Amino acid sequence: ANYGAAKAAMMGLMNVLCIEGAKDNIRVNTLAPTAATRMTESLMPEDALALLGPETITPGLLYLVSEGAPTRVILGAGAGAFAVTKVYETLGATLTGDDLSPEGVAKAFEQIAATEGQEELTQAFHQTQKYARNAAEAQGLNLNWG
């Protein structure tokens, strides 16, 4: 649990450092490596472990600290494979009145979980703005907010 929580915390730290460093053109990224370690050695067969040496991650790390690197990227790396990891949020549903209940969430859950139209969530405050706008719209209010 500690390891997983620490990895999730790194994503949050990266996002905050990106915001704070942008004014000084500082790029911040996160490497999410997978490698043969003492922690993983009992989870995989020997031939899989042989593919997961640290040297198969290093090219990704070196790219992330290079002049041409992007910012706010979570780069997965291991066994010479590289991928970008992103957090997405569905469009969801806004519940009001009697529907604002556990039963209402259950009833709307298919819509809440639908992946069509989902968007990358890059800042938690964007989520707050989205929810407030949707709630205001559902109640016929105009927030006049960014």
Q: Catalytic residue positions?
A: 3
Q: Where are the beta strands (DSSP E) in 1-146?
A: 30-33, 74-78, 81-85, 88-89, 119-120
Residue 138 burial (CB count, 10 A): 14
Question: What is the C-alpha to C-alpha distance for residues 146 and 143, in angstroms, rounded to an integer?
Answer: 9
Cβ-contact 114, 93 below 8 angstroms: no
